[in-house]
Amino acid sequence: MITLYPPALLSSVTLVSGEACAPSNRRLYLSFEDALGALLAAHIKPQAKVLVPAYYCWSVVHHLERKGFQVFSYPVGEDLQPDRAALESALKHHSPQLVILFHPLGIESTLKKDLSWTAHLLGEAIVLEDYAHRLFSDLDAHPFQRWVAINSFRKLSAAEGAWIWGAPHLLGSLPPPAVALSWYSIKVRSLFILWRAVLQTAGLFESQHLFSLSEKLYGLHEELIGASETPQGGSRRDEWLFSRLNGKRLSAHREKIARIYLEKLRSHQTPKFSLVPIEEDALKDLKFFPVRIQAKDAAGVLARLSERRVYLDTLYEDSPHSQGFAYLMLPLYPTIDEAQAHTLGEWLHAEIARE
């Protein structure tokens, strides 16, 4: 069985000392949404304008809108990176108080390489780096004066939680995360653990029914995340697990598997199937390997793959950028081996040949 997320509970965690992956001066929350809620409560007034990329997790947008914020998007290109001219135009037109900078599928945003666009920011505006898919590196530069970054443990590992770090004058005024267990945090943690356990069991027995159950549990978990009015604190156990991520080993494996997909699919692109133009030196940063397919074909492709016990998904299909097409995500997690990657690449090649 091949799934988008690793079925083995600890497959993305390496318990090797000296490989810690953690920013300094961080705070620990239960989820990305809880950390975001703390930031909003401390620094962004209700009804404020927020600017997000057009290829983004739209559940975060719905979360912002439910809290009363006005959300606008700026376009991205075929490589999922921001359209710089369009961003600058949006900054001038909307004057947002919060700008979300996204690292698409883990690749560093090009907005950090040329900061000329920041001249159009309001003086009190905050830049939020969304690290949900990106591995933290001590070499990452954070050149903004009013910036924070939030990651998501569950998007990169088998742990639950989120760090928020950034400019000390912004971080210092955040409301402290609640330390007492609430019914909300108990449900969130329980659903996460149950999802991971069912997914692992589904992988062990190659059970479609158990996999379907794991999908339902994951959906319930995602619906519940961020529902607390008081930002909840994370678990020190999960923080320890996440801090043991072996970034170098993960990156090397991601690049190796991504190159297999690239080799299998690069010369067989059609209007129905095409690869996202990603620089080869960025393959090591990818969380998933994206294949662009026409939206009308996505359900059929996913169904035929599931008949082979391959359970993949599309990502951010409800975002404005995904109009008429979807991005099929191929797994790069540590327990998928080269033989499985070759087989999956051949099956997708067969899908392309169906035209």
Contact status, residue 13 vs residue 243, Cβ threshold 8 Å:
no
Segments making up each domain of the chain, as ranges: 20-171, 183-223, 247-353
Token pair 């080799």 is found at 263
Question: What class, spelled out in words, does domain 20-171 have in CATH?
Answer: alpha beta
Q: For residue 84, what are its two tokens?
A: 């710089």
Which regions of 77-146 does DSSP assign to beta strands (E)? 98-102, 126-131
Across 29-54, average pLDDT: 95
User: What's phi and psi for 313, nearest 5 deg?
Assistant: -155, 165
Contact status, residue 328 vs residue 291, Cβ threshold 8 Å:
yes
Contact status, residue 273 vs residue 351, Cβ threshold 8 Å:
yes
Mean pLDDT of the chain: 91
The pLDDT tens digits of the residues spanning 62-75 come to 999 999 999 999 99
> CA torsion 60→243→177→230, rounded to 10°?
30
pLDDT of residue 17: 47
Across 119-146, average pLDDT: 86
| Confidence grade of residue 20 (pLDDT, cut at 50, 70, 90) | low
Q: For residue 19, what are its two tokens?
A: 């490989």
Mode of pairing for the β-strands spanning 325-331 and 313-314: antiparallel
Residue 80, CB half-sphere, CA atoms under 13 Å: how many? 29
Per CATH, which fold does 247-353 belong to? Aspartate Aminotransferase, domain 1 (3.90.1150)
Contact status, residue 302 vs residue 312, Cβ threshold 8 Å:
yes
Classify residue 94 by burial, with Cβ atoms within 10 Å: 0-12, 13-18, 19+. Answer: middle
